[in-house]
């Protein structure tokens, strides 16, 4: 969102790097956005004026969303950009914790031996007798539901069949880690679309570029 706003409401040229909102003027006159243009990634402050000034904090979000909509309209950003590829989830913040949690759940359900018995005993003491079964049912239902949703998202973004299968298997396996990665890809395609209509030009595909987090 910040990229579209900065490119639409300022004359700043070139790749902006990582962006994030830093602060709002106490008097509601402007918003400060920090950018880190490559190759130095040196932090630069940009102040974008509110016209008219916002009168309360509750007006900031609606104003920014209005700016975003105007910027998206100006750059003709698609609501559902086409995703033609699969991208494996980043290890953090979701993938590794989820894999550890699922491993612990499977160990509690299927583990054999003294260590598994001790583990289940501790779970019953601290979380209750049915904690493992409830967790297993919750994980199963959640991952199936997320996989159905991912199937819908793949159709909406016109993803090729081979990539669709990979996305669904990923979400069925690690849930929110796969969904988060997917929406990172959607946002990246919006960023590519915006830059392609500026002096920067088209960016490389996400699967070939260094992953970046941009709001």
CA 106 – CA 136 distance, rounded (Å): 8
213 pLDDT above the threshold of 60: no
β-pairing, 44-49 vs 30-36, is antiparallel
165 pLDDT above the threshold of 70: yes
pLDDT of residue 205: 82
Say if 209 falls within a structural domain.
no
pLDDT of residue 208: 59
Residue 46 is classified by DSSP as: E
pLDDT of residue 68: 94
CA 202 – CA 189 distance, rounded (Å): 10
Q: Check whether residue 95 and residue 185 sit in a common domain.
A: yes
User: What's the average model confidence in pLDDT over 27-40?
Assistant: 93
pLDDT of residue 210: 42
Q: Check whether residue 101 and residue 188 sit in a common domain.
A: yes
Q: Check whether residue 121 and residue 153 sit in a common domain.
A: yes
pLDDT of residue 2: 87
CA 15 – CA 198 distance, rounded (Å): 9
Q: Check whether residue 70 and residue 105 sit in a common domain.
A: no
Q: Check whether residue 107 and residue 70 sit in a common domain.
A: no
Give per-residue burial for 45-61: e unless 16+ CB within 10 Å, then b: ebebebeeebeeeeeee
36-47 pLDDT, tens digit per residue, is 999 999 999 999
49-94 pLDDT, tens digit per residue, is 999 999 998 999 999 999 999 999 999 999 999 999 999 999 999 9
CA 180 – CA 89 distance, rounded (Å): 8
The least confident of 62-71, 73-82, 103-112, 203-212 is: 203-212
Q: Check whether residue 104 and residue 190 sit in a common domain.
A: yes
CA 72 – CA 79 distance, rounded (Å): 9
Say if 41 falls within a structural domain.
yes
Give per-residue burial for 85-121: e unless 16+ CB within 10 Å, then b: bbbebeeeebbeebeeeeeebeebeeeeeeeeeebbe
CA 69 – CA 63 distance, rounded (Å): 10
Say if 68 falls within a structural domain.
yes
120-148 pLDDT, tens digit per residue, is 999 999 999 899 999 999 999 999 999 99
211 pLDDT above the threshold of 80: no
Cα 211 to the chain's mean position, in Å? 11
CA 83 – CA 163 distance, rounded (Å): 9
Q: Which of 41, 75, 109 is the last residue of a domain?
A: 75
Q: Is the distance from CB of 167 to CB of 151 less than 8 angstroms?
A: no
Q: Which domain holds residue 142?
A: 91-196
pLDDT of residue 202: 87
Q: Is the distance from CB of 199 to CB of 13 less than 8 angstroms?
A: yes
User: What's the average model confidence in pLDDT over 13-37?
Assistant: 93
CA 49 – CA 28 distance, rounded (Å): 9
Q: Check whether residue 189 and residue 101 sit in a common domain.
A: yes
171-201 pLDDT, tens digit per residue, is 999 999 999 999 999 999 999 999 999 999 9
Say if 131 falls within a structural domain.
yes
pLDDT of residue 212: 43
213 contacts: CB under 8 Å, gap ≥ 6: 18, 184
18 pLDDT above the threshold of 70: yes
């Amino acid at each position: 969102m910040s990229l579209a706003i900065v490119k639409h409401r300022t004359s700043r040229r070139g790749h902006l790097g990582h962006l994030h909102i830093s602060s709002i003027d106490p008097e509601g006159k402007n918003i400060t956005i920090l950018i880190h243009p490559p190759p130095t990634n040196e932090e630069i402050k940009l102040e974008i004026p509110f016209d008219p000034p916002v009168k309360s904090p509750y007006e900031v979000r609606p104003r920014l969303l209005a700016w975003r909509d105007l910027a998206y309209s100006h750059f003709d950003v698609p609501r559902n950009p086409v995703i033609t590829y699969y991208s494996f989830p980043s290890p953090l913040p979701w993938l590794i914790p989820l894999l550890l949690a699922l491993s612990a759940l499977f160990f509690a359900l299927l583990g054999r031996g003294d260590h598994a018995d001790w583990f289940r005993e501790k779970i019953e003491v601290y979380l209750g007798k049915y904690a493992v079964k409830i967790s297993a049912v919750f994980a199963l239902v959640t991952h199936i539901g997320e996989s159905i949703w991912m199937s819908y998202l793949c159709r909406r973004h016109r993803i090729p069949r081979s990539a669709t299968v990979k996305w669904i298997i990923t979400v069925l396996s690690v849930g929110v880690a796969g969904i988060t990665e997917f929406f990172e890809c959607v946002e990246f395609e919006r960023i590519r679309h915006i830059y392609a209509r500026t002096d920067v030009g088209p960016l490389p595909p996400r699967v070939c570029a260094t992953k970046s987090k941009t709001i």
